[in-house]
């Protein structure tokens, strides 16, 4: 029996769809592999993030005392906390149990916030992976000073900071940005 033209087209279409499914699955697996780490996941107890900090230089900080926290928060003090009757109000943190990891991207454009992508307590370090939430504008870019401030369980381990970069086109990549 000779296959009909319709039958041949259906087989060709099935072959093309199978190839697409394999391509999508392989690409998706690579993305998952790029973000996978070994260890116990950690979730921030509290997180603040946004696009307007008064800290205009990029920097990463590990804060383990009330004195350090007050100094950092006073430098940062975003507009929504700037005007208080008795000076800037600093959120209370129990530094016996928790610490702060703060990331400031410095002056830039079109970034909404810095968010925690994955925090993993590994055998020899606390791996803190974050990403910038970006957006596009038409004619002119928005001037921003993005930040992410995260309260996590206290740890004496070194902190490895990694940025997960998600391009518009292509695969995400991981870049080490610092150690605290």
Same domain? For 73 and 125 the reply is yes
* Nearest residue to 115 via CA among 127, 102, 130, 126: 130
Same domain? For 97 and 161 the reply is yes
Contacts of 5 (CB under 8 A, 6+ apart): none
Same domain? For 44 and 113 the reply is yes
Any idea what the Cα angle at residue 119 is, between residues 113 and 124, rounded to 5°? 140
Predicted confidence band at 154 (pLDDT cuts at 50, 70, 90)?
A: very high
Same domain? For 70 and 122 the reply is yes
Same domain? For 7 and 94 the reply is no
Q: Total domain count for the chain?
A: 2
Same domain? For 9 and 68 the reply is no
- The residue range of the domain holding 59 is 40-179
Q: Which has more pLDDT, 17 or 67?
A: 67
Same domain? For 25 and 106 the reply is no
Same domain? For 60 and 81 the reply is yes
pLDDT digits (tens, 9 = 90+) for 9-66: 445 444 444 443 333 333 333 343 344 558 999 999 999 999 999 999 999 999 999 9
């Amino acid at each position: 029996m000779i296959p009909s033209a319709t039958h041949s087209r259906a087989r060709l279409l099935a072959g093309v769809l199978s190839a697409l499914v394999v391509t999508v699955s392989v690409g998706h697996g690579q993305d998952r592999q790029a973000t996978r780490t070994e260890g116990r996941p950690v979730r921030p107890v509290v997180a603040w993030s946004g696009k307007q900090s008064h800290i205009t230089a990029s920097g990463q900080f590990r804060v383990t005392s009330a004195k350090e926290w007050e100094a950092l928060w006073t430098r940062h003090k975003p507009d929504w906390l700037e005007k208080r009757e008795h000076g800037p109000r600093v959120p209370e943190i129990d530094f016996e149990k928790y610490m702060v990891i703060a990331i400031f991207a410095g002056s830039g454009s079109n970034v909404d916030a810095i968010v925690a992508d994955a925090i993993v307590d590994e055998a020899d370090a606390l791996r803190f992976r974050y990403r910038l939430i970006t957006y596009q504008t038409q004619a002119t870019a928005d001037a921003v000073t993005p930040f992410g401030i995260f309260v996590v369980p206290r740890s004496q381990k070194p902190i490895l900071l990694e940025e997960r970069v998600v391009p518009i086109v292509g695969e995400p990549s991981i870049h080490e940005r610092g150690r605290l």
